[in-house]
Chain A
Amino acid sequence: MIKFLNPSYIFYLTGKILNFIKIFIIPIIIIGIIFSLFVAPKDYIQGDAARIMYVHVPSAWISLFCFALISFLSIVNFIFKIKSLSLIYKSLAPIGLAFNFIAIITGSLWGQPTWGTWWAWDARLTSMLILMFFYIIFIFSYKFIKNTEKSSKICTTVSILGLINIVVIKYSVNWWSTLHQTSSINISGKTTVHFSMLIPLGIMLFTFLMYSALIFLMKYRIETIRVKKKGLKKL
């Protein structure tokens, strides 16, 4: 158990995993693109426009999941003062922000041909934009506040506010009338996406998760090196 918690062992292990992902990421991306562009059928109303779903939906999920994760880590870090957790959330936050941005951009590109507008101030779209601001504030508060105690406090406050926003995003389409349709994929309940479209969606989700893991591990290792360079023996 001690061996697994040793920072240099973790560094060695993440290096191994990173190399493994590096080998597989390109084939996975190619398979994902082939499935979503060629194997998946057209939608019965939207035609080929529905293919944007294979980028939009996984990106949105990852951005929500990532914020939940960094919030959790930052809250635990605040309460129990486990400093190594801050390395993890610092490495995760930019990934979430990137996917949040991708979800908004692809949503906008999808909205124009289907709804007839690039943007609508409905509850879902607005709350998603607010999430982006939360990400930015979160990143700023550890980037620009040098005092770790202070930055941890601010990160945790942003986390709590952001977590409420996550719940609002999830249920926005059920609580209020929105231009955005209600969710198609439900863990408990009916999924209204045809099976032949779920497969490419699953592959794309896996692809994006692998990509996130790749970027995360790279960033995490850099953060570790940065801490070591400062001459700190302990995190």
Chain B
Amino acid sequence: MLNIKTKNRLLILVAIAVLVITITVLIFKTLEDNVLYFYSPSEIEKSNEIVLNDNMRIGGMVKKGSIETNQNEIRFIITDFKSEIIVSYRGTVPALFAEGKGVVAEGKLQDKKFFLAKRILAKHDENYMPPEIKESLKDNVK
């Protein structure tokens, strides 16, 4: 059906594809943690390799009712609903930073429960809806 040349080219391509996919998988396996943009609080709790006072990012949800503002310092708790980390930050926060919303903090870990942030990024979720719908959803929950 296929002539020999076409068959050979097909075989070469399949060989290249298999090779490349294997290499890619191996690369990602080696990189593993480096591909992560941030660690979750429970990953930090479990891990023994995390170095204190090293620049890193942690992310999760801002715990409801945990934001405290005094003078020019903001303190809040990042949670992934398994473990929690207290974050301290001086500076302005993005507009989307709010309780119960996603957040990524850049800075240094003082100890496993306390994080000194240099920068706060808001992480938003995949939900998009008009404000009226959100209101009616809230009413339903009540």
Contact = CB atoms under 8 A, between A and B. Distances in A.
A88 to B, nearest CB: 19
A78 B13 contact: yes
Contacts of B96: 45-46, 114-116
A73 interface: no
Given A122-B37, A196-B130, 6 more contacts: A45-B98, A50-B128, A114-B95, A115-B121, A160-B17, A194-B130
A182 interface: yes
Interface string B58-69: 010000000000
Contacts, number: 114
B interface, over-half SS:
mixed
Interface string A41-55: 111111000100100
A192 B37 contact: no
A188 interface: no
A114 B46 CA distance: 31
13 contacts: A44-B129, A115-B122, A116-B96, A116-B120, A116-B122, A121-B37, A156-B13, A161-B20, A164-B21, A175-B35, A178-B37, A179-B38, A179-B121
A194 B20 contact: no
Interface of B: 6, 9-10, 13, 16-17, 20-21, 24, 35-40, 59, 93-98, 101-102, 104, 119-134
Given A116-B120, A164-B24, A176-B35, A80 B131 contact: no
Nearest to A181: B126
Interface in A68-86: 75, 78-81
A209 interface: no
Contact of B128 (A117, A176, A179, A184): A184
B99 to A, nearest CB: 12
A128 interface: no
Interface residues of A, number: 42
Interface in A107-139: 113-117, 120-123
B24 to A, nearest CB: 5
A183 interface: yes
B130 A177 contact: no
A157 B16 contact: yes
